[in-house]
Amino acid sequence: MTHTLNAGRVAVVGVGTMGKRHCRVLRAAGLFDLVGVYDPDPAAVHLAETRMFATEAEAIASADVLVFATPTAVHASGVRRALLAGRHVLVEKPLCATSAEAHGLVAAATRAARHLFVGHSERFNPVVRALRSLLRTDASPVVSLQFRREAPRRAGCDAGVLVNLAVHDFDLIAHITGGPVTVVAAVGDDDTAHVLVRASGATAHLHVSRVAPAKRRTLVVQTERFLYEGDLLGPRLTRASADGETTDVPLATVEPLVAQAHALALALTGTTSAPLATGTHGAQAVFLAEQAEILLRMDEVD
């Protein structure tokens, strides 16, 4: 991947696990000028090994684009301040804690004529990128999809499992099939859930858990001609045909966050935004998580 772009000054707000990853990628990519970071925890900022802003307002004033990796509960307020200040924004998923807040940010971005993107970085997973390319050449409809996303319990999570984890796969379903996506059924609890979805004539099943002993992220996509099985952590993708032949699909080696940063630079310099998730995509993923949550609660009552 060549780095011939300069997409302007970027600051990172929130320097926890994901914020530090963004700092590393942005510093190394050569696509932006990383001007500094802000985090209310001085220890977190020190570990970022870059300039420390005293306030969020100082970070916003010093940059052309802001990357927000703050807790979900404060996404709406921080991102809104950046947009009102005329800055472009990439915010970690989920876009907001509620779809009402998310749609409010989409409207704010439109009024400000600024870009709003969401860090649905699974779109840039080598498995997903190769799968989408093969589906275009496959030229047969997707019949079914299965997603499994499991992780150990993590301290400090401020959202239920559907908003915290399932938004990844709601977004991937729309990204892979072209949407629209409708939630049909959901069962489970705050930590583990099964969700049935319809998308562009296909049926999709999601299993998400944040109390698993180890991480697991897999997908299975069936078309009329092939069966694709992917390990998003491996990463690995296989394609099986009707005659029983199974082949390993060659995958790119670019880290998803690096590929996402490159796409962000292209979008901000007016080249292309594909396959970046927009604020509208992010809001849709949160809305679907809310719909699944409603059905899950109804199942608990029954």
135-148 b/e (C-beta count within 10 Å ≥ 16 → b): beebeeebeebbbb
Q: Report residue 188's pLDDT band, with 50, 70 and 90 as the boundaries.
A: very high
Is residue 47's pLDDT more than 50?
yes
**Do 36 and 144 share a domain, yes or no?**
no
Q: What is the full DSSP assignment across 9-62?
A: EEEEE--SHHHHHHHHHHHHHSSSEEEEEE-SSHHHHHHTTSPBPSSHHHHHHH
**Do 194 and 136 share a domain, yes or no?**
yes
Antiparallel, parallel or unpaired: β 33-38 and 9-13: parallel
Please check whether residue 219 lies inside any domain of the structure. Answer: yes
**Do 262 and 291 share a domain, yes or no?**
no
**Do 147 and 184 share a domain, yes or no?**
yes
Cβ–Cβ < 8 Å for 195, 206:
yes
CATH of the domain at 31: 3.40.50.720
**Do 59 and 102 share a domain, yes or no?**
yes
Cβ–Cβ < 8 Å for 10, 22:
no
Separation in Å, CA 80 to CA 12, 66, 85, 110, 123 = 15, 11, 9, 12, 25
Its domain, for residue 210, covers 122-254+286-301
Please check whether residue 153 lies inside any domain of the structure. Answer: yes
Please check whether residue 3 lies inside any domain of the structure. Answer: no
For the whole model, what pTM was predicted?
Answer: 0.93
**Do 158 and 293 share a domain, yes or no?**
yes
**Do 296 and 173 share a domain, yes or no?**
yes
pLDDT tens-digit profile of 231-264? 999 999 999 998 889 999 999 999 999 999 999 9
Number of domains in the chain: 2
**How far apart are alpha carbons 258 and 164 in whole angstroms?**
22
pLDDT tens-digit profile of 62-104? 999 999 999 999 999 999 999 999 999 999 999 999 999 999 9
Please check whether residue 1 lies inside any domain of the structure. Answer: no
Which one-letter DSSP state was computed for residue 71? -
